[in-house]
């Protein structure tokens, strides 16, 4: 049986080469979300994109730094997402963070 629920999605847009304390920012967000016990997270790597630099980033052929876009999506309840937001404060100046309400359709899955 399926169920339609109201949850929230937190999307963090950054670059593949973004590093925080010798670790990828996407990996650091994943670890923090896991420790916070959030319901789900996916990291998606883009092929091309541009943002505040106004330069198109794509998979490098002969460059040392890969600046292709990466998006981290976290889905959970609004309360849990809002409680997690302060953990992103040290990345806020280098990425775009989007928060939106979503409808999630589940089929026989456990509650989050």
pLDDT over 90, % of the chain: 45
Report residue 34's pLDDT band, with 50, 70 and 90 as the boundaries.
Answer: very high
Q: Model-level pTM greater than 0.75?
A: yes
Report residue 16's pLDDT band, with 50, 70 and 90 as the boundaries.
Answer: confident
- HEC-encoded secondary structure of the chain: CEEEEEEEEEEEEEECCCEECCEEHHHHHHHHHHHCCCCEEEEEECCEECCCCCCCEECCCCCCCCCCEEEEEEEECHHHHHHHHHHHHHHHHHCEEEEEEEEEEEECCCCC
Report residue 28's pLDDT band, with 50, 70 and 90 as the boundaries.
Answer: very high
Place of tokens 């949850």: 7
Predicted local distance difference test score (pLDDT) of residue 83: 97
Tens of pLDDT, residues 37-92: 999 899 988 777 666 666 666 665 555 666 778 899 999 999 999 999 999 998 87
């Amino acid at each position: 049986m399926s169920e339609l629920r109201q949850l929230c999605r937190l999307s963090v847009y950054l670059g593949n080469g973004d590093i925080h304390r010798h670790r990828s920012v996407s990996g650091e967000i994943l670890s923090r979300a896991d420790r916070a016990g959030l319901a789900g997270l996916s990291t998606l790597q883009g092929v091309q994109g541009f943002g505040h630099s106004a330069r198109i980033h794509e998979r490098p052929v002969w460059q040392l730094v890969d600046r292709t876009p990466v998006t981290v999506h976290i889905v959970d309840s609004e309360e849990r997402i809002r409680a997690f937001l302060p953990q992103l404060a040290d990345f806020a100046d280098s990425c775009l963070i989007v928060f939106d309400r979503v409808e999630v359709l589940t089929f026989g899955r456990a509650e989050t």
